[in-house]
Amino acid sequence: MTDQVLDATTLPQIAAAWQALRDWIARRPEDSGMRDAFEQLAMMQEIAEAEAAGTLSRPSTDERKAA
């Protein structure tokens, strides 16, 4: 579950991760640690939506190495 959340970078992946996370929490309400994953998905969704709208681009690998 954690990998699915952390690896979700496209809007379809994020939507699938949202649903999987909701299902996870419904089956395991005591797993409060997974609730933080909703924040991660919200950030990734915001980034993916900005990229889709053309208002944000991810840095290239070379740009990330230089930072």
pLDDT tens-digit series, residues 40-63: 999 999 999 998 888 876 666 555
The per-residue pLDDT for 8 is 93
Distance (Å, whole) CA 1 – CA 17: 8
**pTM of this prediction exceeds 0.85:** no
Look-up: residue for tokens 């740009």?
63
Angle at CA 58, nearest 5°, toward 8 and 38? 30
Q: What's the mean pLDDT when you consider all of the chain?
A: 85
Classify the phi-psi angles of 58: left when phi > 0, otherwise alpha if psi is within -120 to 50, otherwise beta: beta
